[in-house]
Structure 1
Amino acid sequence: MPSPNSRDEEYVAVIDQDEVTDEVRDIAVKYDPLNRSGREGFHVTEDGELHIDDSKVMAEHRLIEKKIPNDAVRIVPLPSASGQLVHQYGENGFRLHELPIPEEGSVVGLLGRNGVGKTTALRILAGDLVPNFGDPGETDWEHAAESFRGTTLQTHLQRLADSDVETVYKDQRVDELSDAGGGTARDLLPDGSGVRDRLLDDLNVRSLLDRPITDLSGGERQRVAVAATLAADADLYLFDEPSSFLDAGQRLTVARVIRERVREADAAGLVVEHDLASLDVLADAIHVIYGEPGGFGVVSGRLSTRSGINQFLDGYLSEENVRIREEAIEFPSPSERGGRSGDPVVEYPTLEAEFPAFSLTVDPGRVHAGETVGIVGENALGKTTFVKLLAGSIEPSAGIVPDDVTVSYKPQYISPDGQGTVRDRLSAVTDLHSQRFQTRIRDPFDLEELYDRSLDALSGGELQRVGIALCFARDADLYLLDEPSAFLDVGRRVTLADRIRRFAGRSERPVLVVDHDLFVVDRIADRLVVFEGTPGERGHATPPQSMREGMNAFLSSLDITFRRDEGTGRPRVNDPGSRLDREQKADGEYYYPG
């Protein structure tokens, strides 16, 4: 049997003590090849916890993982160039290797899967979490600074040790913003500086100041949160997913405002972002964070924005000489992917909805069996109202929605709605043991690993997966998904788009999807419904049209053009006024099909 110290690839054991049962302990100890040879491997501590020293874990321990009936023990390979262990959450807990490097006058993006340490890195650099370098006793900023002696990070960590750096942080969950104290937007943006006044106009939040936060939409809360963060006088600005709930135009505006403010303040910016179009505009450089979700994360070296995004999509970081994904993420154009044209399933007439301050007109249209229809447009033009009209939760003031069509609807916000597990929630709407559910929903959306989790303990991305599954689990003629990509990482968004398309094709049911990530829309939609008008006053929905026509109409209203990256085929935003921007506008090709 090989010695643990002679292996080419290193492994660690990730142990979820809450899932460790007597059976798990018995299997791990009994079948450990080290224990069988008279050396100590897996053992039970005096506290009753299952444990193994990191230095003793080897490939052969994967046999134990296969024998254990749950996810209590995972044997995870570490890349050979894992770098310095910066922080570890308890024995056999998640490990973060290396740290991103803030730079004055620059915005640095963090790109990676959920669960690999992006938020942990932000917390450390914000001064909220003292790194322990794998030793719980080493929780001292002076030691942290010394550990990065001779590097750019030493200066920042030393300033944290000296309490000589101001940091400000925008949390990911702006949908929970009101839970942090309530009140109005003005409470978060008190009168004071000229910077604050300029941000109110740049981010279009001045009209929101005296409205209760509880009454604000997700996009309005996001803009208020970004404005409040940038209004602070700080040395380091940290943003966790600043594009969620914003429309395509607002995302690019927010990206440019963040970048300009960081440069103006000669501060540093760190941003976690999963919308690649926003990241492309926002970041001067990026760090890719890769690893095993919940197990370990490794922060790559600093990369140029284009190269870093492309290497992330390719799944291979050339400078690190490490493969982070088995297959590359590709971006076939709609013409390469091919469309679908089954029989009409739903046909709706001209619809109107009148409210005290807003009106919506919907042109007549029809959707076909097995197709996915994207719904795009600025916020506050009535997209969600349109979805609710079709779902029957809002009565039109003119026109009649067919009452013989059964609709299943996933709303924009997913609420845990009290106690209970994922299994309980799903069992209430479907038979979990049916082959149809398992093959079309459970397995594609990786639900089984969530079954025994409490709904109120799920992350935003996990709630999204459950919400989509609940929508698809109901027997319906038409499925409506409102912003399904929110809180999902890039890989999950790609998988989500592919699996929604597969569900539509296999079930021969149409799926309508409202989303602001144009990569998701580009990948998922056969046709588009485009919303036009004046936000907050009036909206107009076109009939479903081709992707090319729809994207050109939508982006021309925003005065934005996209091109395809030569290396990956991903859509990229053209710089305003650039040669490509001018040429594409002249040709009427705002969303270059490639």
Structure 2
Amino acid sequence: MGDPTTSAQQDKYVAVIDQEMVTDEVRDIALKYDPLNQTGQDEGFHLTDDGELHINDEVVIEEHKIVANKIPTDAIEIVQLPAERGELVHQFGDNGFRLYELPGPSEGRVVGLLGPNGVGKSTALGILSRSLKPNLGDAAADPGWDTIVREFRGTAVQTYLERLRDGTVRTAYKPQRIDRIHDQYDGTVGDLLGDRDERGVGDALLERLDLTALTDRRVDDVSGGELQRVAVAATLVADADTYLIDEPSSYLDVDQRLTVAQTIQEFTGDSVALVVDHDLITLDVVADSVHVVYGEPAGFGVVSRPLSTRRGINQFLDGYLRDENVRIREQAIDFLQDSTRPADRGTDAFEFPTLKTSFESFSLRVEPGTLRDGEVLGILGRNGLGKTTFAKLLAGVLTPDEGEIGTDVRVSYKPQYLQPAFEGTVEELFASALDVSSRTVETDLRQSFDLDSLSERTVADLSGGELQRVSIALALGRDAQLYLLDEPSAYLDAQQRTAFGATLRQFVTRENVYCFVIEHDLLLLDYVSDRAVVFEGDPGTRGIGRSPQPVHHGINRFLQTVGVTFRKDPTTGRPRANKPGSQKDREQKSANDYYVV
């Protein structure tokens, strides 16, 4: 491998071609303006026998950006790639996504993978689970396992690849998109775990993850947070050598995230465990070490060397990997404690009265409150206390038993669960639902959520993070006075959450609208909210939504109910969970300061 600190020849370029977006116009531009073709070398962009646009990786140069810039779509991207940064592990087709290096599995340790969406974290898990065989960069080749192992001789991953070659690795995998479990299993929670329990730990996991009461409930009938815990339990009951767990924190409240992180640590024991998560609090608790995965989403990804968890997270946020001398992001992700808020509110207000509703085994009461225009009200609390029910009451999806929501307010509602029912492309979806030429869509949404890169994609084929971006943009693009966003950060990476927070603040302030945000990411909720509604009670039985209060008071009150304290990281300012029973934890609890950030 080359020295990452050497010479200007280190940087090279690759072309990423989306063949589905290649039109006759794109082909003509690429062939005509290619700088190599113009010099008569005829080594640049060309058409294959199948009529596809192609260019060999080794001839791509910086000047090929001229071609990409002349094309009105994202059909061609010229990506600057650190050369000799590591071993090219896998490539998807000619000019397709490339993954460099692999994380090093380690027995008895939990290894975290941290990075933006689309840079190969799930691809790495696929290779380590043996569901994807690496091709070492030659999409047309099928190298033997001896060849693959030889390429990684002397690295931390060599021994693991030898075990993959020999077929002696048993893996258990928890997928990112837990909502798809409904399509794969229609029995009860107890049956699901019982069928998979090879270690005799099912009952212990049911109790540890607070799932005992759900054993007779059908998988189709459990909520998102419950389904996430069921998916984690169904993974950990398997008798495996390697546990691969993709985004275990989505839809979980803070208390549940910490419990799941501790459970993964406890139940993976001496086995290998790899965890992908965007929630830094979860990763901080669950991981013994971290690999930062960086690159160009959908273009390439590079897996860094292992770092201690704290150093890895902080260097990821800073955007600079010091040991490898790699700048992975132009700017740091700053953990601002307060967003810019207008000094004066408008005179218009949205009021909701005391609301009561009940179901067969659950009752909800929400105390009255008021929103001024241009204000965001954050909603937080443990799962199972009625936060989503409250949003549905406000949206008119449900009718309260007591209290009345005014019908003269136009409402836009983004639900908690994402269901890609639309048959068509993202562009067709937006054209059918919004005025795509409006200032909001063009200025706030297309750029902030990178919608142009998704425009030609079929909605049903989007990943969780992509579908979340589309769902948020759809909600904010509607002409409404009241916007309800239920768990908008699920599946978004750290950078996307920051961009969403800034966009939402600007949108609500400029448009003078009302906004409710249900969120478990405390930092995001703190950043976007003016005040907070805290839900308390007995999960699954009784919920009480308190009247709005200052956001920091609300977060502190919520953390009191779950017994978790947070401190500020001295380097980045990010909130870090204190270890239960530690001196810092005891000091903050004694002072009733559960959220010191």
Q: Same fold (TM over 0.5)?
A: yes
Amino acid at match of 1:560: V
Deviation of residue 14 (structure 1)?
0.8
Question: Which of the residues 294, 299, 304 maps onto 2:298?
Answer: 294
- Name the residue aligned to 1:201: 207
Question: Which of the residues 307, 323, 331 maps onto 1:327?
Answer: 331
What SS does the aligned partner of 2:448 have? Answer: coil
Whether 1:521 aligns to 2:525 is: yes
Instruction: Answer whether contact 1:340 1:526 (CA < 8 A) is retained.
Output: no
- Name the residue aligned to 1:44: 47
CA distance in 2, matches of 1:82, 1:38: 32
CA distance in 1, matches of 2:254, 2:343: 26
CA distance in 1, matches of 2:20, 2:402: 56
Deviation of residue 390 (structure 1)?
1.1
Instruction: Answer whether contact 1:410 1:482 (CA < 8 A) is retained.
Output: yes
- Higher mean alpha-carbon deviation, 137-146 vs 366-375, is at 137-146
- Name the residue aligned to 2:3: none
Amino acid at match of 1:94: F
Question: Which of the residues 245, 256, 270 maps onto 1:239?
Answer: 245
- Name the residue aligned to 1:366: 370
Pick closer, same or farther for the CA change 1:314–1:194 going to 2, 3 Å: same
Question: Which of the residues 567, 570, 585 maps onto 2:589?
Answer: 585
Instruction: Answer whether contact 1:333 1:522 (CA < 8 A) is retained.
Output: yes
Cα deviation code 1:48-102 (max 9, x no counterpart): 1211111111111100101112211110000245211011111111100000001
Pick closer, same or farther for the CA change 1:291–1:543 going to 2, 3 Å: same
Whether 1:473 aligns to 2:477 is: yes
Instruction: Answer whether contact 2:380 2:535 (CA < 8 A) is retained.
Output: yes
- Name the residue aligned to 2:76: 73
- Name the residue aligned to 2:127: 124
Amino acid at match of 1:21: T
Deviation of residue 403 (structure 1)?
2.4
Number of matched pairs: 586
- Name the residue aligned to 2:228: 222
What SS does the aligned partner of 1:152 have? Answer: coil
- Higher mean alpha-carbon deviation, 281-290 vs 18-27, is at 18-27
Pick closer, same or farther for the CA change 1:197–1:449 going to 2, 3 Å: same
Deviation of residue 308 (structure 1)?
0.5
Amino acid at match of 2:534: V
Amino acid at match of 1:555: L
Question: Which of the residues 416, 433, 436 maps onto 1:432?
Answer: 436
- Name the residue aligned to 2:568: 564
Instruction: Answer whether contact 2:106 2:272 (CA < 8 A) is retained.
Output: yes
Instruction: Answer whether contact 2:535 2:543 (CA < 8 A) is retained.
Output: yes
CA distance in 2, matches of 1:34, 1:474: 47
Amino acid at match of 2:39: S
- Higher mean alpha-carbon deviation, 553-562 vs 30-39, is at 30-39
CA distance in 1, matches of 2:341, 2:68: 42
- Name the residue aligned to 1:270: 274
Write out aligned runs for 1:527-546 (5 A).
527-546=531-550
Whether 1:258 aligns to 2:260 is: no
Amino acid at match of 2:26: V
Deviation of residue 464 (structure 1)?
1.2
Deviation of residue 434 (structure 1)?
2.4
- Name the residue aligned to 2:28: 26
CA distance in 2, matches of 1:14, 1:77: 11
Pick closer, same or farther for the CA change 1:314–1:382 going to 2, 3 Å: same
Instruction: Answer whether contact 1:416 1:456 (CA < 8 A) is retained.
Output: yes
- Name the residue aligned to 2:160: 156
Deviation of residue 24 (structure 1)?
1.6
Deviation of residue 8 (structure 1)?
4.8
Amino acid at match of 2:245: F
CA distance in 1, matches of 2:545, 2:180: 30
Cα deviation code 1:460-496 (max 9, x no counterpart): 1121122112211222221000011111111111111
CA distance in 2, matches of 1:48, 1:393: 50
Pick closer, same or farther for the CA change 1:339–1:505 going to 2, 3 Å: closer
Write out aligned runs for 1:340-351 (5 A).
342-343=345-346, 344-351=348-355
CA distance in 1, matches of 2:230, 2:518: 22
CA distance in 2, matches of 1:203, 1:308: 28
Deviation of residue 453 (structure 1)?
2.2
CA distance in 1, matches of 2:77, 2:103: 27
Deviation of residue 357 (structure 1)?
0.6
- Name the residue aligned to 1:190: 194
Deviation of residue 341 (structure 1)?
5.2
Unpaired segments of 5 or more residues in structure 2? Answer: 1-6
Deviation of residue 186 (structure 1)?
2.4
CA distance in 2, matches of 1:207, 1:6: 62
CA distance in 2, matches of 1:76, 1:146: 29
CA distance in 2, matches of 1:376, 1:157: 44
TM-score normalised by L of structure 1: 0.96
Pick closer, same or farther for the CA change 1:400–1:498 going to 2, 3 Å: same
CA distance in 2, matches of 1:379, 1:499: 26
CA distance in 2, matches of 1:222, 1:139: 37
Pick closer, same or farther for the CA change 1:302–1:435 going to 2, 3 Å: same
- Name the residue aligned to 1:451: 455
CA distance in 2, matches of 1:444, 1:359: 39
- Name the residue aligned to 1:498: 502
What SS does the aligned partner of 2:164 have? Answer: helix
Amino acid at match of 2:428: D
CA distance in 1, matches of 2:227, 2:451: 30
- Name the residue aligned to 1:508: 512
Deviation of residue 418 (structure 1)?
3.6
- Name the residue aligned to 2:4: none
Instruction: Answer whether contact 2:440 2:477 (CA < 8 A) is retained.
Output: no
- Name the residue aligned to 1:115: 118
Cα deviation code 1:159-180 (max 9, x no counterpart): 1111111111000011111111
Whether 1:212 aligns to 2:218 is: yes
Cα deviation code 1:319-359 (max 9, x no counterpart): 1101111111111223x755765135211111111212111
- Name the residue aligned to 2:100: 97
Deviation of residue 526 (structure 1)?
1.6
CA distance in 2, matches of 1:369, 1:393: 23
Instruction: Answer whether contact 1:286 1:308 (CA < 8 A) is retained.
Output: yes
Pick closer, same or farther for the CA change 1:342–1:561 going to 2, 3 Å: same
CA distance in 2, matches of 1:69, 1:400: 50
Instruction: Answer whether contact 2:483 2:516 (CA < 8 A) is retained.
Output: yes
What SS does the aligned partner of 1:511 have? Answer: strand
- Higher mean alpha-carbon deviation, 187-196 vs 171-180, is at 187-196
CA distance in 2, matches of 1:54, 1:6: 18
Cα deviation code 1:554-578 (max 9, x no counterpart): 0000000001110001011011111
Deviation of residue 506 (structure 1)?
1.1
CA RMSD of the aligned region, Å? Answer: 1.6
Pick closer, same or farther for the CA change 1:445–1:126 going to 2, 3 Å: same
Instruction: Answer whether contact 1:12 1:76 (CA < 8 A) is retained.
Output: yes
Cα deviation code 1:407-433 (max 9, x no counterpart): 211101122224122223222332111
Cα deviation code 1:130-150 (max 9, x no counterpart): 111112324322221121112
- Higher mean alpha-carbon deviation, 432-441 vs 402-411, is at 432-441
- Name the residue aligned to 2:489: 485
What SS does the aligned partner of 1:428 have? Answer: helix
Pick closer, same or farther for the CA change 1:81–1:368 going to 2, 3 Å: farther
Amino acid at match of 2:262: R
Whether 1:354 aligns to 2:358 is: yes
Deviation of residue 298 (structure 1)?
0.3
